[in-house]
Chains A and B, each alone.
Chain A
Amino acid sequence: MNPLIPLFVVIPLAGAFLIMILGSFIRNLNKYLASLVLLFLVIVSFYFLFTTGSKVSVYKVGGWEAVNSIPIGIYMVLDGFTAIVLCIINLIGFLSVFYSISYISRYTAENNFYALFCLMIAGMNGVVLSGDMFNIFVFLEISAISSYALVAFGVEKNELEATFKYQVLGGLASFLILIGIAFIYWKAKTLNIADIRNVFSSGYDRKYYLLVQILLLSGFGLKAAIMPFHAWLPDAHSSAPSPISAMLSGVLIKAVGIYVIIRLFFNMFAISEGMAILITTLGTLSMVVGAFLAIGQWDIKRLLAFSSISQMGYVILSVGIGMILISRGVRGEIAALAIAGGIFHLINHAAFKGLLFLNAGAIEYSIGTRNLQEMGGLSKSMPVTSATSFVASLSISGIPPFNGFFSKLIIIVAAILAKFYFLALLAVIVSIITLSIFMKFQRYAFSNKTDTRNKVKIREVPFPMLFSMIILSIVCLLLSVLVFPGIREMILTPATDILMDPSKYSSIITGM
């Protein structure tokens, strides 16, 4: 029982509450309180990242112990994989809040912005930490409602249309998840993930099981914007204010989509080969189609949003390869490599896509447009933005020595070793397409000649925005060290271990 675990939910919730209550009396409280809350969470999450290792800590809310080794209380579970995702959420969250200090000042109702932001963080931390389906659903809705409101924060035509689309599809996703939970409860009579695993492992109806899996996969797939369910993502992510786009694209689709899919399919369900092949196919589809849709875009943020779909495809693809190998029961070390590659790419994508959205926000802040055809020559007037976005573009296209290269390399090597030569080839081709997408971005935004008719002096953005961008570009470079043996064993291996051994998670939690 580590008493620090519930703080991940309690502190941002309290922060949101205090900002709403006190924010209107004390000027500038909102900015500093939100930054402090997130800074504290970053420190705590890094503490957990370096100390968790391979142990699993369980916090039982209210101290309700299991009766006859059947868990009855609310369980919060923190293991290696959770610690990684918590770090991503809180680090990107902190940098986005710091960035917002100057970015959001052109909107009204700043209190609402910071309060909703803290609420979204609380929801995502809750989803990642909770050990039962009930709380996953509740926290998922908390983060979803605040993200609906934040997407519409500009309340102009585009924002409202995007948020309506997002809400209708997000609502459908919640319904699918709720039906899935109802079906699980019908047969298992429990909603604790570890307990469901134990109940289902002692015999189940195969078709019923498949129905539950499909319902949950489509529900969380809608949240994660995997290919057939991606329609809301480009609109919602491009209409939101830029720090929120960075949060949505960098963190939200991972924390409430990919993370939950991986957690449920590895630790709750027994992996079946059919499901594994389906997940790999969906991943490949989003990887390829997302890249092709991105290349034709002229709006920077839409381009980045489509590229998010493609990069998430990489994660799903490599995790799916790991699932196929586990379900066949062969070559566990290659499966571990594939899963580690997927998780590594998930971390990297949070860093560079967050950075790219912050760059897009900086460009929009300075010149007031998001259309690539209307900009050019910005590398002279905005040197820091230009340099950091160059780092991010190289990372996302997989150029060494940046982090994206190593994670894509691991994914491709794992695909080749697992004898999925076609998938490896597709991953290489999509990587080349990604490079061309970001060369287009660099060329049109930063290196073309400036339009001389436009005499407005373009200035570099203020310090808080620069600070966040510089830190994230350093993070992009530093993350490559995760590939080296000593550090990989400390951070990535515990995460893959808990996923690789199907019964370890449930046996630790229920104590059987």
Chain B
Amino acid sequence: MIPYLLCFILFLVGLYGVITRRNLVKIAISLSIMEFSIFLFFALIGFVEGGVAPIVDPADPVKTYVDPLPQAMVLTAIVIGLATTAMLMAVIIRIYRKYGTFDIREIKNLRG
């Protein structure tokens, strides 16, 4: 149970950062922390006690195999996360060039 709780705490750390930080880069970092806590959680769910990689061996049918689905899902999600983070950082750099600040309180052209 403890690993799951730690994942949840990591998630809350990220959420705290997204809500309270005012620097755009720190918000991006907090989002990444949240994201990785979920990846960790998903990978933990897929853990099987004493499981081996699912390469079926007809000679030894009693082996416990690990389901590769959560690993595949987490790997895909990590790649997607890389793309979204790169996109977010590119936008942040552009915002800095236009507004000259990273402070979210001074970026408020859109209202209503």
**Which of chain A's residues 120-144 have a Cβ closer than 8 Å to chain B?**
134, 137-138, 141, 144
Chain A CB within 8 A of B84 CB = yes
Say which one of A174-182, A363-371, A373-381, A418-426 lies at the interface with B: A174-182
Chain A CB within 8 A of B69 CB = yes
Chain B CB within 8 A of A492 CB = no
From B88, which residue of chain A is reached at the shortest CB distance? A167
Chain B CB within 8 A of A164 CB = yes
Complex alpha-carbon distance, A157 and B76, angstroms: 33
Complex alpha-carbon distance, A297 and B91, angstroms: 27
**A171 and B31: CB pair below 8 A?**
yes
Cross-chain contact of B76 among A138, A171, A235 (Cβ < 8 A):
A138
A145 to chain B, nearest CB (A): 6
User: B residues engaging A (CB < 8 A)?
Assistant: 18, 24, 27, 31, 34-35, 38, 41-42, 45-46, 67, 69-70, 72-73, 76-77, 80, 83-84, 87-88, 91-92, 94-95, 98-99, 107-110, 112
* Complex interface: chain B residues within 8 A of A134 (CB): 69, 72-73, 76
B110 to chain A, nearest CB (A): 5
Cross-chain contact of B77 among A144, A178, A191 (Cβ < 8 A):
A178
Known: A141-B80, A167-B87. A175 touches B110 (CB 8 A): no
25 contacts between A and B (CB under 8 A): A137-B73, A137-B77, A144-B84, A148-B84, A152-B91, A157-B99, A160-B98, A164-B91, A165-B110, A167-B87, A168-B31, A171-B84, A171-B88, A174-B84, A175-B34, A175-B38, A178-B38, A178-B42, A178-B77, A182-B42, A182-B70, A186-B45, A191-B73, A235-B110, A302-B112
Complex alpha-carbon distance, A137 and B78, angstroms: 12
Cross-chain contact of B98 among A156, A167, A179, A302 (Cβ < 8 A):
A156
Q: Interface size (A, Cβ < 8 Å)?
A: 40
Tell me the interface secondary structure of chain B in the complex.
helix
**B69 and A141: CB pair below 8 A?**
no
Known: A134-B69, A157-B99. A167 touches B91 (CB 8 A): yes
**B73 and A181: CB pair below 8 A?**
yes
**A179 and B41: CB pair below 8 A?**
yes
A196 to chain B, nearest CB (A): 13
**Which of chain A's residues 179-216 have a Cβ closer than 8 Å to chain B?**
179, 181-182, 185-186, 189-191
A27 to chain B, nearest CB (A): 27
Chain B CB within 8 A of A163 CB = yes
Chain B CB within 8 A of A162 CB = yes
Known: A171-B31, A182-B38, A182-B45. A161 touches B83 (CB 8 A): no
From B46, which residue of chain A is reached at the shortest CB distance? A185
**B24 and A164: CB pair below 8 A?**
yes
